Amino acid sequence: MKSYPYPPFPSQPQSTPGSQQAMDPYPDCGEQTYKGSGRLQGKIALVTGGDSGIGRAVAIAFAREGADVAVAYLDEHEDAQETARWVELAGRQCLLLPGDLSQKRQCRELVTRTVEHFGHIDVLVNNAAYQMTHESLEDISDEEWVRTFDINITAIFRICQAAVPHMPSGSSIINTSSINSDAPKPTLLPYATTKGAIANFTAGLAQLLGPKGIRVNSVAPGPIWTPLIVSTMPPEEVKHFGQQTPLGRPGQPVEVAPLYVLLASDESSYVSGSRYGVTGGKPIL
């Protein structure tokens, strides 16, 4: 069994959206370890936030399972190119799609470009998100609230609406929620609220899309070591990140990816409308 890093972690403040290249320890996205076995052979996947963190681990795992991957991200070009390098080393195609998902046009554009390039979409992973720490209610500006909702939940609605006409029966949508969806951290109020909305949206959409043969599930990670953390949390929280979990450490992105592979694959053909935790032992009920 491979061992993963435990806190304390070095101080490493970054501005949002953060760079994976600059992190210490470097997040493990399965670059050296993930082994595929053809579980997504020939599928086409679109992964938002696929440049870094959980999204990169998902992109690498999907490619090694035989999928071509379109990767959407904000503007972290170096991180995105590193993801593309690993996808291509796995012998699959990677289409990079930078742009701001708070913009309605970008949500549609992303789907159009993926379909122009690959023809259709079998797996849609809505994983991009924004968060920021606010110590008090007064600290949260109206613009911040609206932008968090635009990126984290409205974009998911828009991307799903644009993508579904291009998703054949048997396709899978996977939305990244969070342990915050039912255990909200008060200093992440806008973010946690969107994560509750994602879990609820997922359960509703699964019922709407069932007759089309499209499955929809959400994943609720606990603390995972990614750029999102070092670019939005206070240094003291970063230092002890993940220590409060029963496993005593944060998860690495590679430890989350296998669940996305399962939910994307035909093996989970009767799994829809559910939420799955990857929390290092913190209960989600």
CA angle 198, 204, 210 (to 5 degrees): 125
CB of 213 to ligand NAD, least distance (A): 26
Residue 103 three-state SS: coil
* Minimum CB distance to ligand NAD smaller for 193 or for 212: 193
Distance CA(165)–CA(121), nearest Å, equals: 9
Find the residue with minimal CB distance to ligand NAD.
53
Only one of the segments 49-57, 89-97, 135-143, 262-270 lies at the binding site for ligand NAD (rule: CB under 6 A); that segment is: 49-57
Residue 33 CB burial class (10 angstroms; 0-12, 13-18, ≥19): exposed
CA dist 119 → 44, 125, 168, 179 (Å): 9, 17, 11, 35
Based on the shown chain and the rule CB under 6 A, indicate whether residue 130 belongs to the binding site for ligand NAD: yes
Based on the shown chain and the rule CB under 6 A, indicate whether residue 123 belongs to the binding site for ligand NAD: no
CB atoms within 10 A of CB 193: 17
Site for ligand NAD in 216-235 (CB under 6 A): 221, 223-224, 226-229
Instruction: Name which of Mg ion, ligand NAD, none residue 194 binds, using a CB cut-off of 5 to 8 Å depending on partner kind.
Output: none
- The set of residues, in sequence order, having a beta carbon less than 8 Å from that of 85 and lying 6+ positions away, is none
Instruction: Name which of ligand NAD, Mg ion, none residue 61 binds, using a CB cut-off of 5 to 8 Å depending on partner kind.
Output: none
- The set of residues, in sequence order, having a beta carbon less than 8 Å from that of 209 and lying 6+ positions away, is 164, 173, 215, 216
CA angle 168, 74, 71 (to 5 degrees): 35
- Exactly one of 30, 49, 190, 280 binds ligand NAD (CB under 6 A); which one? 49
Catalytic residue flag (residue 191): yes
CB of 155 to Mg ion, least distance (A): 15
Q: Select which of 130, 191, 260, 276 is catalytic.
A: 191
Contact set with ligand NAD (CB under 6 A): 17-18, 49, 51-55, 73-74, 76, 100-102, 127-130, 151, 176, 178, 221, 223-224, 226-229
Contact set with Mg ion (CB under 5 A): 51-52, 76, 227
Task: Catalogue the active-site residues.
Answer: 191
